[in-house]
Structure 1
Amino acid sequence: MDTLKLNSKQIQVAIDQLTVQPDGLNKLMEMALNSLMKAERSTYLEAAQSGNKANGYRNVSGFGIGDSLALQVPRDRLGLFKPMLLNIMKDQSDTLNELCFDLYAKGLTTRDIESITHRIYGQQLSKSQVSRITTSLCDAMASFRERTLADYYPIVYLDATFVKTKRERVSSEAYYIVLAVLPDMTREVIGIYNAPTESAGCWNDICLDLKKRGLQQVDLFVADNLTELDSAIERHFDSAIQKCVLHLKRSILRKTKKQHRSELVEDLATIFQLDNREDTRESLYLRAQHTSEKWYKRYPDLIKLSDPEFMSYYATYLEFEYEIRNMIYTTNWIERLNKAFKRTLKIRNSMPSVESVLTLLSKVAIDINSSTYQYPVSRLSKSHLFN
């Protein structure tokens, strides 16, 4: 067939007629990209060593507008020719992988991801393709959880959150979170672990893992009254422990009659005087003993408030500078982190596996580490943490 000689105006008319047809724009993109790659091969072969020549085409798919493109990649006999457009398509593929990572990390299922990628890119990803992408994400998140830690953190928060997870059947399982404050007063999630239920053995394993990954010294651990946590910490670290004051108050008030709660709230506020710069452990113990004597006949469990050993775990914040006591007398920070986890997980009634939960929690942690947690929470330096 003779080569057509069309002027620019005729070519423009032909393009306009093509693009108004259904899927015409994608057809035009296919023709243009195929022609560019063919021309690039011709230029390459002209400059290449003798003996090399064109050797047909291979079919690949590219991203179009609402549909995939059928592209023909030119080949040469020696297999040396690589069109520049392949790099562009690789970038598109990397972008698609990143999108799948983010969608999966937001809690979407593989079926949701298939639907979204098809609607945006016109690329129908199979479940196996999405599974390979999410497996790659799982590997990256596992590396995050196993990374080497600094040897020293001034403050470490510990807590457990529960997620419905499928093993043989669906049940709520404990996921343990470790949040650290760095010497520059920024924060970082340094540990995410799973165990079916809270137990002393689990906390022991977590402490061992933190040490294995490099942690040697912590000035203060902050936690709720979690099962056997204090003994596990004391076994592995020479550190102070602060148990959450708000959790203690809530625990007491849950077991109190409604008509007594207002008065007891005031008495508990008297024990924990966060606004009293000059407060001491001894003064706190005396106020707690007074409250215990006042209430224990009605509520025998409140006899524990008169026990200095019990109360010592709730008064540790008094050893620290007044300016940071509000940061350490509760587990509020890590509870806020758990709420961020829950927002990601609430899309699903339950998770298909432990690994899927760990992956999603890890992705949320990485995002928060690189955003909110990179900003210091206090101007105090490490040298001013203790009185």
Structure 2
Amino acid sequence: MRGVTGPMPGGGNVRNGTSRKTVLSQVGPVQIEVPRDRAGSFAPQIMPKHARRVEGFTETIVSLYAKGLTTGEIQAHLAEVYDVEVSRDLVSRATAQITADMTAWRTRPLDRVYAVLLIDCIYIKIRDGAVADKPVYIAVGISLEGDRDVLGMWVGTGGEGAKQWMAWLTELKNRGVQDVLIACCDGLKGLPDSINGVWPQTDVQLCVVHLVRTSLRYAAKQHWGTIAKQLREVYTAKTPDEAEQRFALFEAEWGDRYPAVVDTWRRSWEHVIVFLRFPAPIRRTVYTTNMIESLNSRFRQATRRRGHFPDDDAALKVLYLVIRNPIKNRPNITGKTPAWKQAINSLASYYGDRITDR
């Protein structure tokens, strides 16, 4: 343990070995080595003299785990900074309580109605026989009061279809979500149909930004700027009719050269123009899932240094800790939605008693 030493009356003070001491922490007994000095003036700063319990020990371990440190790295850090020798098993026990907390969080009751449901995913390296990139799907809800929160989190294989999505969305419904006004997603296979299978009245809006990115994959790079600009004119139109007219011009110019781009938008058209019926405040909230990007950025920071995770639960624990610990004075996925009073008034005029009779 680090401390402060003082001079001897007749000369300098020096260290004189260590004393072994067992103290209690939230994860059980911990054995530490306390340095001695000849003057007897050493004053430990982390573990005071005569104290038998370490306060905040588990919180320190959990904080390091949330930042992406492995069990071995946490063990080395505690030894280097605090001169505390702990076993990997003890660190594992400290992080094991996260699993119980996460399970309670993943099964907590939810609101009956959400104005907006956003679904996106991030890819994380997880060992499943071999190390592979596996998608972790995140569902973020905006309540009728404008509060944003992560409602669900699931690890997939990348080959999810309607059946799997139906199971995950039904999980949200069983936790209390009886209605969703608008759901925004990126067109994941089977997802739009599954959303309406669980909540038949929900308007499904495909993420326009994802759709543009998909379109550019079918076009030569030298045309990306022009195509992106013209598609922006489509999805920023004032009305659905105006959007249709602008897309007809786009199709006339690019349809013969890039038919796959036109087909991508035509197949998704009914789910592309949903947000055009609303005023600007709602459009900014529901036309893209990019609201989740600040969260994904923190996910990447926490998972990048790990290289890969040994299993799904290990990955979910780190992501859960990121969600649980928002950063002050930084954009976070949890919190209030800007200009929400104007948005909810517009939603109320359109959805009527689905909002007022909650």
TM-score by length of 2: 0.80
Amino acid corresponding to residue 240 of structure 1 in structure 2 = D
Q: Distance in 2 between matches of 1:17 and 1:147?
A: 65
Q: Quick check: 150-159 or 248-257, which moved more?
A: 248-257
In the other structure, the counterpart of 1:41 is none
CA 1:376 to 1:329, structure 2 compared with 1: closer, same or farther past 3 Å?
closer
Contact 1:103 1:113 in 2 (8 A): yes
In the other structure, the counterpart of 2:191 is 229
Q: Distance in 2 between matches of 1:190 and 1:369?
A: 19
What SS does the corresponding residue of 1:172 show, helix, strand or coil? strand
How far 1:87 moved relative to its partner?
Answer: 11
Amino acid corresponding to residue 221 of structure 2 in structure 1 = K
Is 2:231 the counterpart of 1:268?
yes
Deviations 1:306-335 (A, max 9, x none): 74x631211111232322312221111113
What SS does the corresponding residue of 2:129 show, helix, strand or coil? coil
Q: Distance in 2 between matches of 1:147 and 1:141?
A: 10
In the other structure, the counterpart of 2:251 is 292
In the other structure, the counterpart of 2:318 is 360
Q: Distance in 1 between matches of 2:12 and 2:86?
A: 27
Number of equivalences: 321
Instruction: State which of 193, 202, 221 in structure 2 corresponds to 1:258.
Output: 221
Q: Distance in 2 between matches of 1:152 and 1:213?
A: 12
How far 1:348 moved relative to its partner?
Answer: 1.7
Deviations 1:250-303 (A, max 9, x none): 211221123433332332122122xx5xx1112212221231232211112234
How far 1:150 moved relative to its partner?
Answer: 1.3
| Structure 2 portions without partners, runs of 5+ | 1-5, 26-31, 36-47, 351-358
Please show how residues 45-56 of structure 1 align to structure 2 within 5 Å: none
CA 1:169 to 1:297, structure 2 compared with 1: closer, same or farther past 3 Å?
same
Q: Distance in 2 between matches of 1:18 and 1:365?
A: 54
Runs of 4 or more above 6 Å deviation: none
Amino acid corresponding to residue 298 of structure 1 in structure 2 = R
What SS does the corresponding residue of 2:326 show, helix, strand or coil? helix
Is 2:108 the counterpart of 1:147?
yes
How far 1:110 moved relative to its partner?
Answer: 0.8
In the other structure, the counterpart of 2:44 is none
Instruction: State which of 171, 176, 197 in structure 1 corresponds to 2:158.
Output: 197
Amino acid corresponding to residue 113 of structure 1 in structure 2 = I
CA 1:374 to 1:305, structure 2 compared with 1: closer, same or farther past 3 Å?
closer
In the other structure, the counterpart of 1:80 is none
Contact 2:65 2:318 in 1 (8 A): yes
What SS does the corresponding residue of 1:368 show, helix, strand or coil? coil
Please show how residues 166-181 of structure 1 align to structure 2 within 5 Å: 166-181=127-142
Q: Distance in 1 between matches of 2:151 and 2:293?
A: 15
Q: Distance in 1 between matches of 2:113 and 2:12?
A: 63
Is 2:210 the counterpart of 1:247?
yes
Question: Rg larger in 1 or in 2?
Answer: 1
What SS does the corresponding residue of 1:360 show, helix, strand or coil? helix
Amino acid corresponding to residue 246 of structure 2 in structure 1 = R
Instruction: State which of 120, 138, 143 in structure 2 corresponds to 1:159.
Output: 120
Is 2:167 the counterpart of 1:212?
no
Percent identical: 24
Amino acid corresponding to residue 368 of structure 1 in structure 2 = P
CA 1:87 to 1:204, structure 2 compared with 1: closer, same or farther past 3 Å?
farther
CA 1:223 to 1:246, structure 2 compared with 1: closer, same or farther past 3 Å?
same
Contact 2:7 2:13 in 1 (8 A): no
Contact 1:188 1:369 in 2 (8 A): no
Deviations 1:204-255 (A, max 9, x none): 1210110111111111111112111101101001211111111111211221
Is 2:70 the counterpart of 1:101?
no
How far 1:15 moved relative to its partner?
Answer: 7.3
Over aligned residues, Cα RMSD in angstroms?
3.0
| Structure 1 portions without partners, runs of 5+ | 1-12, 31-58, 71-84
Deviations 1:150-178 (A, max 9, x none): 11111111012111101222111111101
Q: Distance in 1 between matches of 2:171 and 2:11?
A: 63
What SS does the corresponding residue of 2:146 show, helix, strand or coil? coil
Contact 2:118 2:140 in 1 (8 A): yes
In the other structure, the counterpart of 2:73 is 112
How far 1:97 moved relative to its partner?
Answer: 0.6
In the other structure, the counterpart of 1:384 is 346
Contact 1:189 1:369 in 2 (8 A): no
Contact 2:111 2:143 in 1 (8 A): no
How far 1:69 moved relative to its partner?
Answer: 4.1
In the other structure, the counterpart of 1:281 is 240
Amino acid corresponding to residue 315 of structure 2 in structure 1 = V
Q: Distance in 2 between matches of 1:120 and 1:107?
A: 18
Deviations 1:323-358 (A, max 9, x none): 231222111111332121111100021111111101
Q: Distance in 2 between matches of 1:335 and 1:60?
A: 45
CA 1:187 to 1:312, structure 2 compared with 1: closer, same or farther past 3 Å?
same
CA 1:321 to 1:380, structure 2 compared with 1: closer, same or farther past 3 Å?
farther
TM-score by length of 1: 0.75
